Structure 1
Amino acid sequence: MTFDALTALLVIPAVSAAVLAILPGYRLTARLNVVAALLTFLTSLSLFVVQPTSGDYLLLDDLNKIFIVLTTFVAFTTSMFSASYIGHEIEIGRLTPNFLRFYHAMYQVLMFAMNLALTANNIGLMWVAIEMATLTTVLMVGIYRTHEALEAAWKYFILGSVGIALALFGTILIYMAAGPVIGEGLGAMVWTNLVQHAAKFDAPLLNVAFVFLLLGYGTKVGLAPLHAWLPDAHAEGPTPISAVLSGLLLNVALYALLRFKMLLALAPAAIAPGPLMVTMGLISCLFAAFMLYRRRDIKRLFAYSSIEHMGIIVFAFGMGGPLANFAGLLHMTMHSLTKSAIFYAVGHIAQVKGTQKIADLGGLTVTHPVLGWSLVAGVVAIAGLPPLGIFMSEFLVVSSTFAREPVLAVLLGLGILIALGGLFLRLSQVAFGAPRGPTGPAHASYVPLFAHLGIVACAGIYLPPALVSGFENVARLLG
């Protein structure tokens, strides 16, 4: 395998993880972590200039380019946020240097695993990469070593393992369906081989395989009723990991699901994967929308918001067609940027207030105007109000659905409106009114927060033609 930009996407985080694991001191490793994430992001941008050659193990096409650039960008900005956030956690004694020795190394291992999953041309290798990402985030969720954090990490490990086991069984069934056509061995697991011969695969095996893959990777996407690990992991783990989970890891599992949806679409005798995805997406959206009204922890609140939005995204891809797929890609991008920005704000708010309980977070726009109004902007964006980016994507999803299935469009619109009410109800408690609870100084890096919100605001008004063209091309590929 020649060394090119595609290989560099894996080598940079892998080497960085090894170096960071042996270096002492938080400040040095925090800076190196940011540099490594920046190099990976710049490498991902080079993929639009130089086209690396795909092989049996690594693949580059129009679909994974979008995911790679989005993942590496959010990983870079999160590493910047993490440097100030974790540094303050050490200062107040919530984290000790012993627990943090491998924090940045694990962060780069997570980046390696996600990049590997996105670039893998082998469905078995993709499964291994997603499992590696799961195990890494389990360790990072439990880093506080409190009873609640360890319980959340354990729940994440158990439910994530069940999901990934179901995905493994689905992957094996795909291999069994491909074997008689392609032949046994490595070739029957190579994605580019699978799509060439998918029409000849055994349809019943493909049908069963997709059900297992939907349930397995759907667990990692956070779809209801497979979502139970996600709120606990968000609430008890470090906020940078919450940003990575909502902004990146859910997308990686979604990417795997889309790959297999494309495979089934090439087999005329197989079931249509769309209705299954539409059903699970709609259930997730409606369930999470109602659950927003019962949250008392601000990080759990936005965890359920992630479940709602992943439901909308899966619903859009399930509906299919150029417009719905375009809307799904746009919504995924806007959600990743917006939700990670919200967690940046929430992380620093929890630090200055010393709590995540919504009841103790009143009057933020008075006590901490920058953080308070940043949270207001983030919630306005994630709720889908105009003229921000998520409004555009939600409008496209609902309008494209209404033209084909009006009843589903009404149900989806109802879920979006219910979620908007729940978010604004909690926002009014947190951001406005008389200040409540303890108050401390803000030690925050606002650059990642403002960068994300700025992009989302601009996207609601203007999308570059090159971006629109790229999304349209991928939307056609998804069918």
Structure 2
Amino acid sequence: MSALLHLLPFAPIDAVLVVPGVAAFLLALIPQYRLGARVNMLASGLTFLFALTLLVERPDPTVSFLFVDDLNVVFIVLGTFVGFTTSIFSASYIGHEIEIGRLKPGYIRFYHGMYQALSFSMNLGLTANNVGLMWVAVELATLTTVLMVGLYRTQAALEAAWKYFILGSVGIALALFGTILIYMAARPVIGEGHDAMVWTTLIANAAALSPELLNVAFVFLMLGYGTKVGLAPLHAWLPDAHAEGPTPISAVLSGLLLNVALYALLRFKMLLAANPFAVAPGPLLVTLGLVSLIFAGFMLYLRRDIKRLFAYSSIEHMGLIAFAFGMGGPLANFAGLLHMTMHSLTKSAIFFAVGQVAQVKGTQKIADIRGLTESHPTLGWSLVVGVAAIAGLPPMGIFTSEFLLVSSTFAREPLLAIPLVFGLLLAFGALVWRLTGIAFGKPSPSVVDAGRRPSMLPLIVHLVLVLIAGLYLPGPLVAWFQNVARMLG
């Protein structure tokens, strides 16, 4: 494998940026839908393959603005895989949107180009060895998704995009201020210029950095990147963006973009944890995580739009992940990594299903979607399995991660386990209640369904992987996650 990789004109870490970067420009020149969709799938597939090579090929961070370790490889491999499967789903889904007149053919070049630009920016954020460059990448990812959320050009879509832009800009401004404070803390120790922004240099000198500046910086970073993660009360952009944008973008938002912002927070958490005089960042993550979990649990009962319903489910699960990493320790961190992986796979699968449901029923209103298991058995039962998985039922992978987290919390902080379990039960009840009406009973009318239908393959692959993870975790994967859990502290 290593010998083959050395035959490439660029390193694998460069390839996960070069492929989507070049593809974005090429796709902006391809007006034909079918050709554009194929190039989009090819580019996404190649990016995923190059991401896999990072498991064995690690560049020297001292000679590059980019670096790879066990932590960011988790995010890169997961993100590029979901990006690839979403591109497969997107190919037929967007084609159907054009056929029914919801999306204008003239926007195809824009959509495919922005899809690869988003892939580029997320991979750049995950591989950047410079905290300033990481900030730029997250901002670029925000701008590309803002444009894609407004793709339908309806009043609701444009309002959602504008709301996302305003709130996202506030968040990214706070994150920028936090990044500047990190630089100010590093400058007296490391010196001025680029070196004071390099992650590998920062973490090596973390113990000597000003703890006061680190403490203040993390508050701003938590608020800034926490907005991107979708943690309550910083979440207001997320439900609208999920509901009004194209369904593939909803899948990418929940399965990828939220994770990139979470990754940034984890890096800065590691920086504070390495300074013996800085305040422990864990309690802030635990607090926002519990607030998000319980708030979203209540809001699930009030949603009337099926995509908004699962957007609030994403807030719930990102809160749960933040809680896990805030608790820290080998078991809680392992549970957080596993839960993040399972959530990305499951939630993107659910949005694949929900997008098809909205097409066949002609609506996103929950009240108008009934009896899917009878009217569309394959689609209906796939949604049932997806919701069962996201609700935490065994034997799915999310049950495993939630069980590990609850066990760890009861063992270490029994009082915190009470609101944790309450939030989980609250969300579970809401999802089961909503699923009962959507999946069973007398079927609601369907719209005329002529033309192409989105592929079920990505949905099924994701759910099968989540099921396998609930039954058996391979030894190498467990060892990998355990190593990352130790890194996170």
Secondary structure of the 1:220 match is helix
Q: Does 1:252 align with 2:252?
A: no
Q: Does 1:336 align with 2:364?
A: no
What's 1:240 paired with? 248
What's 2:4 paired with? none
Matches within 5 A, 1:169-318: 169-318=177-326
What's 1:451 paired with? 461
Over residues 326-381 of structure 1, what are the superposed CA-to-partner deviations in whole Å (9 max), with x where a residue is unaligned?
Answer: 00000000000000000000001100111000011001111101111000000000
Aligned equivalent of 1:48, options 37, 55, 58: 55
- Paired letter, 2:346: T
Measure the CA separation in 1 of the matches of 2:198 and 2:177.
Answer: 17
Give 1:444 shift.
Answer: 2.3
Aligned equivalent of 1:359, options 367, 392, 397: 367
Q: Does 1:475 align with 2:474?
A: no
Secondary structure of the 1:403 match is helix
C-alpha contact (below 8 Å) 2:361/2:445 kept by paired residues:
yes
Structure 2: stretches of 5+ with no match in the other structure:
1-8
What's 1:65 paired with? 73
Secondary structure of the 1:293 match is coil
Secondary structure of the 2:68 match is coil
Aligned equivalent of 1:96, options 91, 101, 104: 104
Measure the CA separation in 2 of the matches of 1:51 and 1:58.
Answer: 10
Q: Which runs of 4+ in 1 moved over 6 A?
A: none
Structure 1: stretches of 5+ with no match in the other structure:
none
Give 1:56 shift.
Answer: 4.3
- Paired letter, 1:443: R
C-alpha contact (below 8 Å) 2:58/2:69 kept by paired residues:
no
Give the aligned length: 478
Measure the CA separation in 1 of the matches of 2:55 and 2:320.
Answer: 29
State the TM-score, normalized to the length of structure 1.
0.99
C-alpha contact (below 8 Å) 2:44/2:80 kept by paired residues:
yes
More displaced stretch, 428-437 vs 133-142: 428-437
Measure the CA separation in 2 of the matches of 1:215 and 1:85.
Answer: 35
CA RMSD of aligned residues (A): 0.9
C-alpha contact (below 8 Å) 1:56/1:122 kept by paired residues:
no
Give 1:393 shift.
Answer: 0.1
State the TM-score, normalized to the length of structure 2.
0.97
C-alpha contact (below 8 Å) 1:170/1:213 kept by paired residues:
yes
Aligned equivalent of 1:435, options 411, 429, 443: 443
Measure the CA separation in 2 of the matches of 1:447 and 1:52.
Answer: 34
- Paired letter, 2:10: F
Secondary structure of the 1:399 match is helix
Give 1:294 shift.
Answer: 0.2
What's 2:26 paired with? 19
Give 1:404 shift.
Answer: 1.0
Aligned equivalent of 1:349, options 350, 357, 367: 357
Give 1:98 shift.
Answer: 1.6
Q: Does 1:39 align with 2:39?
A: no
Measure the CA separation in 2 of the matches of 1:164 and 1:79.
Answer: 27
Secondary structure of the 2:412 match is coil
Measure the CA separation in 1 of the matches of 2:430 and 2:445.
Answer: 22
Give 1:314 shift.
Answer: 0.3
Over residues 207-264 of structure 1, what are the superposed CA-to-partner deviations in whole Å (9 max), with x where a residue is unaligned?
Answer: 0000000000000000000000000000000000000000000000000000000000
Give 1:429 shift.
Answer: 1.2
Q: Does 1:167 align with 2:170?
A: no
Measure the CA separation in 2 of the matches of 1:335 and 1:440.
Answer: 33
Secondary structure of the 1:284 match is helix
